[in-house]
């Protein structure tokens, strides 16, 4: 069954998504956390993890193996639901392997090809995040990459889950789900847009108008 994560570090957005009952995790990155101007990065991430009670991806800043592993261990100690975001680099894969051996879940981010996803899965990543919108931006087929990764993982029996990221609009959500993404992480704006359809609004208005006529003639 496909799952939705929110791609945000905004507490109000996360609360609303949880209230709607459709969100089971959160992904963050340094840019999203910086927008919130939180006094403490670690405290902010921990607060999100406690709220969500599901996977919360927090990204390392270091680019070398030892730095990434050190940061990952600290982030992982904040809450049992923290997942470490590691970039798709050579050092990133070395760090992923070390963390996987320690039982620390990794979400390999900035994935743009099936080959990169395959490397991440072989290194022991719990999740891989292909960036759909950014691929579309340069004229490539972002959803096609998700589809190819899903085929690869199915053929070879990988347990690694696909998180479709860089989602720009509701159509991306539908297409990523059909392409085989296990999880779709989407901005709050896109989640809100998914509720909307003009025929729904027209239908509600008609029901209320008909009910108003009934009440006038018969009472409640």
By annotation, the residues acting in catalysis are 85
Query: b/e for 165-190, b at 16 or more Cβ within 10 A?
Result: bbbbebebbebbbebbbbbbbbbbeb
> Where do runs of H (alpha helix) occur along 28-141?
30-36, 41-52, 65-76, 90-101, 114-123, 132-137
In angstroms, the CA 185 to CA 3 distance is 8
Decide: 213 and 42 in contact? Cβ < 8 Å. no
Decide: 78 and 112 in contact? Cβ < 8 Å. no
In angstroms, the CA 66 to CA 95 distance is 7
In angstroms, the CA 28 to CA 17 distance is 15
In angstroms, the CA 154 to CA 173 distance is 21
């Amino acid at each position: 069954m496909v799952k939705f994560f929110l791609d945000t570090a905004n507490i109000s957005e996360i609360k609303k998504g949880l209230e709607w009952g459709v969100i089971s995790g959160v992904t963050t990155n340094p840019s999203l956390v910086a927008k919130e101007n939180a006094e403490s990065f670690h405290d902010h991430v921990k607060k999100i993890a406690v709220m969500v009670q599901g996977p919360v991806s927090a990204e390392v800043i270091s680019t070398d193996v030892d730095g990434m592993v050190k940061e990952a261990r600290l982030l992982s100690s904040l809450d049992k639901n923290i997942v470490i975001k590691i970039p798709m680099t050579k050092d990133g894969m070395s760090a992923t392997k070390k963390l996987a051996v320690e039982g620390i879940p990794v979400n390999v981010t900035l994935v743009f090809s099936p080959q990169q996803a395959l490397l991440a899965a072989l290194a022991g990543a719990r999740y891989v995040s292909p960036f759909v919108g950014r691929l579309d931006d340069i004229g490539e087929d972002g959803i096609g990459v998700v589809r190819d990764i899903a085929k690869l993982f199915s053929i070879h029996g990988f347990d690694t889950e696909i998180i479709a990221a860089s989602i720009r609009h509701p159509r991306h959500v539908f297409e990523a789900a059909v392409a085989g993404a296990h999880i779709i992480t989407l901005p709050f704006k896109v989640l809100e847009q998914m509720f909307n359809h003009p025929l729904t609004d027209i239908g509600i208005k008609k029901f209320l108008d008909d009910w108003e006529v009934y009440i006038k003639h018969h009472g409640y």
